[in-house]
Amino acid sequence: MKFLVDFMLGRLCKWLRLLGYDASYFVSDKKSDLIYQSLKEGRIILTRDHRLSKKKAIRLIIINSDLLEEQLEQVFSELNIKVDPEEIFTRCLVCNEILQEIKKEKVKDRVPSYVFQTKNDFSFCANCQKIYWKGTHWDLAHQLLKKLKRAKA
Ligand SMILES: [Zn+2]
């Protein structure tokens, strides 16, 4: 499941990546390019632009809510998908690349010392070199997932 996220939905894009989805961020206002890219890369467009709905040849979801939880709910329910907890934090939040594991010894000078002392599992993005570990964002992601599950029940 691959997404192309309109620039108005930056937060949603980041959270889709955090949950492990391939989400490209579309920063231009040129709708023809948006449609072209979605067709070329087989991506589902997520947008707030109602004008796009008239074009039937493209796969898209018009996001209704301003709230992140409701936006995610809408995407997951319309596509009938469920988040795989194993996939959380497998992608770089900045550039959408798949993260790679990195040995603890190698990150010593690249993370805050309290992180190095308390964490054991690290991963990194080969594209932007950002280091990730199971910290605050990890907890936030799990809290969010719990909320989403509750909303479904
Ligand atoms: Zn990156």
Per-residue pLDDT of the chain (153 residues; tens, 9 = 90+): 899 999 999 999 999 999 999 999 999 989 899 999 999 999 999 999 988 877 766 899 999 999 999 999 999 999 998 888 888 889 999 999 999 999 999 999 999 999 999 999 999 999 999 999 988 778 888 888 888 765 554
Same domain membership, residue 76 and residue 10:
yes
Coil/strand/helix, residue 100: strand
Question: What is the whole-number distance in angstroms between the Cα of residue 83 and the centre of ligand 1?
Answer: 21
Q: What is the value of pTM for the model shown?
A: 0.88
Please state, in angstroms and rounded to a whole number, the distance separating the CA atoms of residues 62 and 48: 5
**Alpha-helical segments (H) within 5-153:** 10-18, 31-41, 68-79, 113-118, 136-152
Residue 91 within a domain: no
Neighbours of ion ligand 1 (CB under 5 A): 92, 94-95, 125, 127-128
Same domain membership, residue 10 and residue 75:
yes
Q: How many helices (H) and strands (E) does the chain have?
A: 5, 7
Question: What is the whole-number distance in angstroms between the Cα of residue 64 and the centre of ligand 1?
Answer: 29
Same domain membership, residue 80 and residue 33:
yes
